[in-house]
């Protein structure tokens, strides 16, 4: 069937409550565009394109330039909904003619040596946004026949802590909040600077003293930035204080140094589990199946950022991970609630393996707390209570929300 898409674009800028530093890149706002695709029957989907400095290589201008190249060709596509496949680029919904067009574009680029954008060169955040819009559209159009739970979405998340509390008052606020959690869990972004690191470790020690009350899960995220000596210092402290950590996320810089970490853990007889985020790609075979192989034996979870991998690649990795019994954790990149709601739908419908107790495995979506004025929180009926996100999927709410966002021409 031929489906004509009308595309609409909306610009958004959401201030962050405080400056966020990611891999030495400073971010004070989240800026991006929503891409809305509407078919000839009125069904629509929305995708969010918002590169984050320090996480994504591209800028918003790169995405806008690429979108300018694609928008006219995206408006009229031959789509066979029966070909819907989560593991294929654009979920297999783009017809062969469109794929041929992309190939022709690539050949033309080689002949003319021009900077035209082809499919392989699209920024990951733009691919993510288009796939997000297509997936929302598919759910919207097929909701009568699509078996998924999206009426009452409840998802446990980590309390994200970027820096240790400055005083006792801040500390008590954190502890009191965690006491209200159904599943008390924190994710602490670790800093290798000695003065800050010492404060973080003392904070973790105090949290451990609350543990009889909290039964707290603590994740330490090292962002691949710690040296062997710095990890030795951290493990020595945790071991001597008898502090159990749920898992270390990206504690070393690459696959080779995981062995160095193993030596440190054995040295202090400390049993630490690993969570692989950026490190995960060192263990993925770069073939069509994207199989995960030879993970460290102490791997507890793999963390996936869909705005980096794209949604279709995420589903491909997830399929292999679940087949091998590996726990998956979704991680946001300071995304707005339009995207958090989709992550929640994915978590409920695709990531909750009946053989694993996912209700006891929080997801990495706590970045939303750092948004100053995300309009969609109210419009989409998002609630945050007791360490859980609550959503109610309603496309009328999404449509009403977009009316309040600035429409732009591209």
Q: What is the total count of domains within the chain?
A: 2
> Does 116 share its domain with 182?
no
> Does 113 share its domain with 222?
no
Interacting residues of 323 by C-beta distance below 8 A, sequence separation 6+: none
Residue 64 lies in a domain: yes
pLDDT computed for residue 327 by the predictor: 85
pLDDT computed for residue 257 by the predictor: 86
pLDDT computed for residue 113 by the predictor: 43
**CATH number (domain holding residue 325):** 3.20.20.120
The structure tokens 């709410």 sit at 397
pLDDT computed for residue 146 by the predictor: 53
> Does 211 share its domain with 339?
yes
CA distance 189 to 366: 12
**Is the torsion defined by CA of 71, 75, 76, 82 positive or negative?**
positive
> Does 190 share its domain with 268?
yes
pLDDT computed for residue 150 by the predictor: 55
Interacting residues of 169 by C-beta distance below 8 A, sequence separation 6+: none
> Does 28 share its domain with 103?
yes
> Does 171 share its domain with 118?
no
Q: Which of 301, 224, 208 is nearest to 261 (CA)?
A: 224
> Does 63 share its domain with 165?
no
**Strands of the sheet with 406-408, listed across from one edge:** 44-49, 25-38, 6-22, 406-408
**CATH number (domain holding residue 45):** 3.30.390.10
Tens of pLDDT, residue by residue, the chain (410 residues): 667 788 899 999 999 988 888 888 899 999 999 999 998 899 999 999 999 999 999 999 999 999 988 887 776 677 778 888 998 999 988 755 445 444 544 555 444 444 443 445 789 999 999 999 999 999 898 875 555 555 667 888 999 999 999 999 999 999 999 999 988 899 999 999 999 999 999 999 999 888 666 788 999 999 999 999 999 999 999 999 999 999 999 998 888 888 899 999 999 999 999 999 999 988 887 666 678 888 888 999 999 999 999 999 999 998 888 888 888 899 999 999 899 989 988 887 777 654 555 456 889 998 888 888 766 667 777 788 889 888 878 888 888 888 888 888 88
> Does 180 share its domain with 42?
no
Residue 397 lies in a domain: no
> Does 63 share its domain with 211?
no
pLDDT computed for residue 52 by the predictor: 95
For residue 286, give its domain range.
Answer: 153-392
pTM of the model: 0.88
Residue 323: Cβ within 10 Å count:
10
> Does 137 share its domain with 12?
yes
Parallel, antiparallel or unpaired: strands 388-391 and 153-156: antiparallel
Residue 303 lies in a domain: yes
pLDDT computed for residue 209 by the predictor: 86
> Does 205 share its domain with 306?
yes
The two three-digit tokens of residue 254, written as one number: 């690459």
The structure tokens 């429409």 sit at 407
> Does 144 share its domain with 211?
no
CB 332 within 8 Å of CB 365: yes
Residue 250: Cβ within 10 Å count:
21
pLDDT computed for residue 118 by the predictor: 45
């Amino acid at each position: 069937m031929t489906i004509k898409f009308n595309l609409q674009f909306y610009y958004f800028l959401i201030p962050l409550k405080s400056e966020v530093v990611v891999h030495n890149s400073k971010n004070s706002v989240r800026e991006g565009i929503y891409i809305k695709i509407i078919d000839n029957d009125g069904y629509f989907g929305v995708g969010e394109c918002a590169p984050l400095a320090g996480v994504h290589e591209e800028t918003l201008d790169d995405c806008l330039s690429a979108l300018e190249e694609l928008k006219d060709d995206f408006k009229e596509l031959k789509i066979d909904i029966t070909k819907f496949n989560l593991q294929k680029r654009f979920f297999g919904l783009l017809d062969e003619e469109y794929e041929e067009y992309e190939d022709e574009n690539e050949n033309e680029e080689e002949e003319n040596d021009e900077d035209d954008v082809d499919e392989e060169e699209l920024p990951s955040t733009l691919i993510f946004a288009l796939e997000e819009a297509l997936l929302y559209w598919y759910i919207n159009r097929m909701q009568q026949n699509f078996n998924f739970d999206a009426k009452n979405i409840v998802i446990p998340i980590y309390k994200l802590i970027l820096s240790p509390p400055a005083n006792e008052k801040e500390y008590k606020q954190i502890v009191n909040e965690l006491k209200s959690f159904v599943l008390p869990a924190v994710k602490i972004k670790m800093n290798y600077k000695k003065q800050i690191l010492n404060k973080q470790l003392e904070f973790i020690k105090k949290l451990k003293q609350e543990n009889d009350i909290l039964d707290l899960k603590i994740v330490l995220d090292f962002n691949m930035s710690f040296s062997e000596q710095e990890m030795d210092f951290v493990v020595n402290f945790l071991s001597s204080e008898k502090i159990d950590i749920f898992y270390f996320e990206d504690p070393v810089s690459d696959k080779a140094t995981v062995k160095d970490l193993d030596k440190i853990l054995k040295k202090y007889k400390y049993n630490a589990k690993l969570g692989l985020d950026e490190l995960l790609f060192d263990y993925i075979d770069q073939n069509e199946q994207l199989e995960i192989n030879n993970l460290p034996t102490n791997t507890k979870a793999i963390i996936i950022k869909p705005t980096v991998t794209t949604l279709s690649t995420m589903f491909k990795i997830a399929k292999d991970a679940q087949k091998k019994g590996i726990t998956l954790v979704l991680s946001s990149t300071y995304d707005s609630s339009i995207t958090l709601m989709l992550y929640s739908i994915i978590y409920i419908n695709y990531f909750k393996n009946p053989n694993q107790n996912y209700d006891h495995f929080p997801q990495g979506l706590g970045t939303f707390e750092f948004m100053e004025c995300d309009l969609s929180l109210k419009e989409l009926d998002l609630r945050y209570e007791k360490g859980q996100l609550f959503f109610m999927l309603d496309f009328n709410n999404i449509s009403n929300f977009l009316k309040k966002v600035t429409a732009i021409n591209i």
